[in-house]
Structure 1
Amino acid sequence: MMRPQSEILQGEALERLMHATSGHATVADLRDLEAWRTRSAAHADAYRRALGIWESLGTAAREAKTATDHVMIAGQVRAGGRPVGRRAFLIGGAAAAAATVAAGFVLQPPLGLWPSLPDLMADYRTGAGENRAVALAEGLSIEMNTRTSIVRRPSDDGEERIELLAGEAAIAAAQNASKSLTAIAADGRVFAARAQANLRNDAGAVHVTCLSGSVQVECGGRTATLRAGEQLAYSPQLVSPVAVVDPAMITAWKRGLLIFRDEPLAQVLDEVNRYWRGRIVLLNTDLGHRRVTVRIELARIEEVVSYVRSVLGAKVRTLPGGVVILT
């Protein structure tokens, strides 16, 4: 029995959305997705229903960046900005109108599902589950974790400067480095000379962990000096007190591991989703509150689903594009 065309298109829409969220998508890929979405009314409807799946699963509330995302799901406007009506096509031409929509589609991803244009244009970028080592200068290096975007900024002769747009990276300034390293993350700056630190930027919520030596952090009008094993967290609303942490836990990703000790399952899966090519959606609130201690090998990350099913008794349903629903 042949599948209905609407079901085929919805499956394709989900797969395209998942590719867009994988971290591998380029600007050309996103424009291709927009071209696919506007191919016909059936394609637009399939795309809208695919976004609706995210909304109905409760993920859109967590991912949505603007009210436009919610309006778009309701089918009231086109993705990516202001509506494009018949008058726009008649006066400005279909090509110009389509270009306006496509530009907004890339600049303002619906539901925040894929990297923004600045992230896509970063000097260094990793996709889901990838890491990358970059040598900036003699004795200066960065190691990038999953879904990370970094740009190089203009700097003085005695300094290298980078900006962590999103994601996580370990920075290192060796003893023989001829320059110091400044890392910008959201509203703060980290200064490293003969030191190592781990930086993580989650939509402006930043955690800075000193791994060796000492680093200076400037944020929120204050300066703090961190020594090995100390962490400072800051966001536009708050600068937290310096805390003592386990550097081995923070940098387990460098060894291909995720380690959780007595953490709620929902929090574990949120972290796993950073590495997952697709999305794991947990719909069972009680299950999400269960506390677990687990060690996950990133090379075998798919085994986390088997663990939740066999050990915690979750029901598992898979959808196209790497979507896994746990109930």
Structure 2
Amino acid sequence: MIESDQHHDELSALEREAHAWIRRLTSGEARASDAAALRRWCGQSPAHAAAFSEASRFWKAFGPAGQSLLADSRTTGRRAPAGGRTAITSRRAIIGGALAATAAGIMVVHPPLDLWPSLFELRADYRTGVGEQREVAVVDGVAVQMNTRTSISLGSGAASGTVELIAGEASFKVADRRAETFSVIAAGGRTTSTGAQFDVRVDGASVCVTCLANEAHVEHLAQQVVLKSRQRVTYGDGGFGDVVAIYPSIAAAWQQGLIICNMTPLAEVIGELNRYRSGRIVLLNAEFGRSPVNGRFRIDRPDEALLQIERAFGIRARSLPGGLVLLS
């Protein structure tokens, strides 16, 4: 059947609303109430859920399909559908809508490319948005500085000196006068100290612990590593990595509002900039990604740093809606 213009306009409106949800979730201002409102919006109909699923798929797909996206954006932009939409909701459409609703729910819990906070992050006791840093007092005798996109949960463990770092990065300074141990749980591991300064950073299932002063004990998968001052270790599903020496001025530069690069691969620098800005920077040229970068960038001016990188490497940047930047 041939659909009416009115039905076509309705679907176009849904698509616009779905992309508006994406922009809201990537703004860094989303809260738990937004996640609940999104789930209600997706639950209004199979078309609502499918629209959000399609908008999310677009953001998830632009990385591996970036070259195609560049080519498409140079032409007419939006491809015409292969066939007209049917005005009758078929059994396949209902099943597809149900699957889309499920996918939309999954994307709220596990967002593609970390473009917006997960449901677990939104439910945290303390959370910072994109580019935001803040200091909090979660446990007596422990000073905590939270970096961008960071979520900390207290639960019932705060009374006993234990907090959970759900996502992001935080620096913990445990006072020497504190008699009891303080612990940070992150991705199944635990870092414990009785008077140290250490940073913990969560990147998905991988955790990086950096000891900046005194000594910190890191436990994971029935193994333990003792970190001395100026040492770092990572752990994940495969266990512990090697303990490596670090330069405190570089490792803790974010606490001074800086990103300091010392022969850092460009791909890593781009990944770091993505933490401090809304949207996403995508480097399409793998060869450029291996290029070393030296410099100091202000984390409150990520687009200024991006412009310097474009000029230094002769990279072509193409900006798209929602803060998406393609580098080639």
> TM-score, length-normalised on structure 2?
0.77
Maintained 8 Å contact 1:214/1:225: yes
Structure 1: which amino acid aligns with 2:120?
P
Task: String of CA shifts for 1:3-36, please: whole Å, max 9, x gaps.
Answer: x978887666445313313432123323444566
Maintained 8 Å contact 1:209/1:247: no
Unaligned runs of 5+ in 1: 61-82
Give the match for residue 244 of structure 2. Answer: 243
Q: Map 1:113-124 onto structure 2 (within 5 A).
A: 113-124=115-126
Give the match for residue 197 of structure 2. Answer: 196
**Structure 2 residue 58 is the aligned partner of structure 1 residue 52:** yes
Give the alignment partner of residue 106 of structure 1, picking from 105, 108, 116: 108
Cα separation, 2, equivalents of 1:252 and 1:175:
23
What root-mean-square deviation, in Å, do the aligned CA atoms of Structure 1 and Structure 2 show?
3.5
Give the match for residue 151 of structure 1. Answer: 153
Cα separation, 2, equivalents of 1:128 and 1:173:
26
CA 105–85 in structure 1, closer or farther in 2 if over 3 Å, else same? farther
Cα separation, 2, equivalents of 1:187 and 1:255:
29
Offset, 1:234: 0.8
**Structure 2 residue 293 is the aligned partner of structure 1 residue 288:** no
CA 87–172 in structure 1, closer or farther in 2 if over 3 Å, else same? closer
**Structure 2 residue 24 is the aligned partner of structure 1 residue 19:** yes
After TM superposition, the structure 1 stretch with the greater mean CA deviation from structure 2, 185-194 or 31-40, is 31-40
Give the match for residue 187 of structure 2. Answer: 186
Offset, 1:43: 9.1
Offset, 1:104: 5.0
Offset, 1:194: 1.4
Offset, 1:318: 1.1
Maintained 8 Å contact 2:172/2:197: yes
Give the match for residue 212 of structure 2. Answer: 211
Cα separation, 2, equivalents of 1:33 and 1:155:
31
Maintained 8 Å contact 2:46/2:100: no
Percentage identity across paired residues of the two chains: 36
Give the match for residue 160 of structure 1. Answer: 161
> TM-score, length-normalised on structure 1?
0.77
CA 84–311 in structure 1, closer or farther in 2 if over 3 Å, else same? same
Cα separation, 1, equivalents of 2:123 and 2:96:
29
Which runs of 4 or more aligned residues in structure 1 lie more than 6 Å from their structure 2 counterparts after TM superposition?
Answer: 4-9, 97-102
Maintained 8 Å contact 1:128/1:146: yes
Unaligned runs of 5+ in 2: 1-7, 67-90
Give the match for residue 125 of structure 1. Answer: 127
Offset, 1:308: 2.3
Aligned residues: 295
Maintained 8 Å contact 2:52/2:104: no
